[in-house]
Copies of this chain bind each other. A is one copy, B any other.
């Protein structure tokens, strides 16, 4: 496995490769990331993984500061998973002096859910860094986790709008034995907060089950979910039932929507979602 830290070195290594599959990450690798690597490997060719804690997508300085960083561990896990090339740029490589360009996806897609709660700058940061990474790696396919559902929709929109020549692949959310969606932030949960957090997948599943039993009233499903999360001790930021393509909230469920949650266990902000119709 090769490790490069500059775009120039990356281009040199990838100059004569055939198919490239790409997994962008912020490090703190877990089974969720590694399942994306497996998906990339299954498609064949060279698998590139990037590790870059992108400062421009953090809306809270404390969250950026607390974000776990352990490069040696990440490189070991990447190598074990069969990654061929790891791109680990520094902040100065991605945003050199004088950097002044932002890629924004505007409109409802970035104004709801995470956009409403974390602010527009979050998705501007995501769209800009993903555009830069895709232009640096120039992969045939890029792999993202469905846990960050809105991020996937925003990246798809940006890729289509700009005409970036890459297939965006979303892979199912990896979950721990208690159902909690794997996230680098889980490491910051105390034992008590972890128990609270486990209510998130249980409540999401109960919404999916209720929809499967024929409940179509989104407000009713939302209110029940919010009550369940609050009862578990979580501070709910939002519970929403939304169209999977536009993320616009719906009043009546057709069965193809997502139920999405953001809630805090203690100081740790967690997000998760499930498709009402079962696995996407």
Residue of B nearest to A136 (CB): B163
Whether B127 pairs with A162 at a CB distance below 8 angstroms is: no
Interface status of A165 (Cβ within 8 A of chain B): yes
Write out the residue numbers on chain B whose beta carbons fall within 8 Å of the beta carbon of A107: 100
Write out the residue numbers on chain B whose beta carbons fall within 8 Å of the beta carbon of A105: 100-101
Give chain B nearest CB distance to A6 CB in angstroms: 11
Interface status of A164 (Cβ within 8 A of chain B): yes
Give chain B nearest CB distance to A222 CB in angstroms: 26
Give chain B nearest CB distance to A135 CB in angstroms: 5
- Interface secondary structure of A, over-half rule: mixed
Interface status of A102 (Cβ within 8 A of chain B): yes
Interface status of A16 (Cβ within 8 A of chain B): no
Write out the residue numbers on chain B whose beta carbons fall within 8 Å of the beta carbon of A136: 163
Interface status of A161 (Cβ within 8 A of chain B): yes
Contact of A163 among B7, B104, B109, B163 (CB under 8 A): B7
Write out the residue numbers on chain B whose beta carbons fall within 8 Å of the beta carbon of A132: 161-163
16 contacts between A and B (CB under 8 A): A99-B161, A100-B105, A100-B106, A100-B109, A100-B157, A100-B161, A101-B105, A101-B127, A101-B162, A102-B104, A103-B104, A104-B104, A132-B161, A132-B163, A135-B162, A135-B164
Whether A135 pairs with B163 at a CB distance below 8 angstroms is: yes
Interface status of A126 (Cβ within 8 A of chain B): no
Write out the residue numbers on chain B whose beta carbons fall within 8 Å of the beta carbon of A102: 103-104, 106
Give chain B nearest CB distance to A214 CB in angstroms: 32
Interface status of A211 (Cβ within 8 A of chain B): no
Interface status of A131 (Cβ within 8 A of chain B): yes
Write out the residue numbers on chain B whose beta carbons fall within 8 Å of the beta carbon of A229: none
Contact of A103 among B99, B157, B162 (CB under 8 A): B162
Give chain B nearest CB distance to A100 CB in angstroms: 5
Residue of B nearest to A164 (CB): B135
**A7-25 with Cβ < 8 A to chain B:** 7
What are the 9 A-B residue pairs with the smallest beta carbon separation, nearest first? A101-B161, A135-B163, A100-B107, A102-B104, A100-B105, A101-B158, A101-B105, A99-B161, A136-B163
Task: Map CB proximity to B onto A76-103 as digits: 1 under 8 Å, 0 otherwise.
Answer: 0000000000000000000000111111
Contact of A104 among B101, B109, B131 (CB under 8 A): B101
Task: Map CB proximity to B onto A204-239 as digits: 1 under 8 Å, 0 otherwise.
Answer: 000000000000000000000000000000000000
Write out the residue numbers on chain B whose beta carbons fall within 8 Å of the beta carbon of A101: 103-106, 127, 157-158, 161-162
